[in-house]
Amino acid sequence: MRLFLKFLLFLSISLAAVVAAAAWWANAPIDLRDRSSEFRIVSGSSLRSAVSQMREAGVDINPGLFALLARWRGVATAIKAGSYAVSTGITPEQLLAKLARGDMTQGESTLVEGWTFAQWRARLDQHPDLKHETRDLPESEIAGRLGIEGGRIDGWLFPDTYLFDKQSSDLELLARAHRAMHRKLEDAWSERDQGLPYGNPYEALIMASIVEKETGRADDRALVAAVFVNRLRKGMLLQTDPTVIYGLGENFDGNLRKRDLQADTPYNTYTRSGLPPSPIAMPGAAAIHAALHPADSDALYFVARGDGGSQFSRTLDEHNKAVSKYQKGDK
């Protein structure tokens, strides 16, 4: 009996020592290869695989002990995939909590209203936090992968600041921006004013892109939309410079000349009636709203005043006087 009690005492002391050692390990700083380390847990990774990925990134964590700690805490299957950053001093306990919470590091990229796909793509191609799956693909193939018909992406990405998991795919980011635009356009179309001269939401998107490029002034957007809506209703040419510039593409040198306005392209609204065949930029929510809720105005013309705003006119005579005043400097 005495021997059995001694055995129990020894076992208790040993167990306490193991628990104490485990607690010490769980709260002791992890050795890192550098002062800080970043790693990515791939989606679908097991706990063993996650530990392997961390070790490859320079996080010297004991696989067996970390697995025991995760099971003890009940989070062995709760590790979140994504990108993480750790620095000197982090403990196994803190690391496990970070992985279970999904306390990830994120990159970000902003799609500016009025930009073209080429402009945003140039920014994405240089982004250090993205996996570049589309860099060498033609726009038409990217459009196909996004489910965009016609091969052109302009207009179909919603301008916003997008946060993303570091080293995630640029195609995934583009898909998010496309889904966002699709939702915005659907919602806006369902609440549009009646009697607008658009046959479908895509035509409204084209108009919104023109409004976006014509003005950045909030109180002018609905009036600019009204001018173009009125012109469509009357069968007048839209005669909007941004569409001409878009049609010129790389041939545009920053100066729009008379010969440019006379050079016929599918996007020259001085030579072709109706809307251009596709959007000319990525319109923001305000431009989409203006295209679908134009101002109650019978204006048919507008000219820049030089202060960021525009002067709107109902007749050509009024417009010519406004041009003389604001662009030619006539008194």
pTM over 0.75? The answer is: yes
Q: Determine the distance from the C-alpha atom of residue 123 to the mean position of all C-alpha atoms in its chain, rounded to a whole number.
A: 11
pLDDT recorded at residue 163: 86
pLDDT at position 256 over 50: yes
Q: For 168, which DSSP code?
A: E
- C-alpha 259/C-alpha 116 separation (Å) is 24
Q: How high is the pLDDT of residue 16?
A: 45
Strand partners, 38: 85
Q: Where are the domains of the chain?
A: 27-101, 106-186, 193-326
Task: Give the bridge partners for 110, in sequence order.
Answer: 161
**Residue 249 reports pLDDT greater than 80:** yes
Q: What mean pLDDT, rounded, does the chain reach?
A: 89
Residue 51 pLDDT exceeds 70: yes
Taking the alpha carbons at both ends of the chain, their separation in whole angstroms is 116
Structure letter (DSSP) for residue 254: S
User: Whose CA is closest to 232, among 266, 202, 207, 200?
Assistant: 207
Q: What is the pLDDT of residue 165?
A: 83
163-220 tens-digit pLDDT = 888 888 999 999 999 999 999 999 999 999 999 999 999 999 999 999 999 998 999 9
Q: What's the pLDDT at 7?
A: 46
Q: Percent of the chain at pLDDT above 90?
A: 61
Distance CA(159)–CA(285), nearest Å, equals 8
**Cβ 222 vs Cβ 290: under 8 Å:** yes
> How many of the other CB atoms lie within 10 Å of CB of 134?
21
Per-residue pLDDT tens digits for 9-43: 444 554 444 555 567 788 889 888 888 888 888 88
Q: Is 206 exposed, middle or buried (0-12, 13-18, 19+ CB in 10 A)?
A: buried
User: Which CATH number is 27-101's, of 3.20.20.540, 3.30.1490.480, 3.90.950.10, 3.40.50.300?
Assistant: 3.30.1490.480
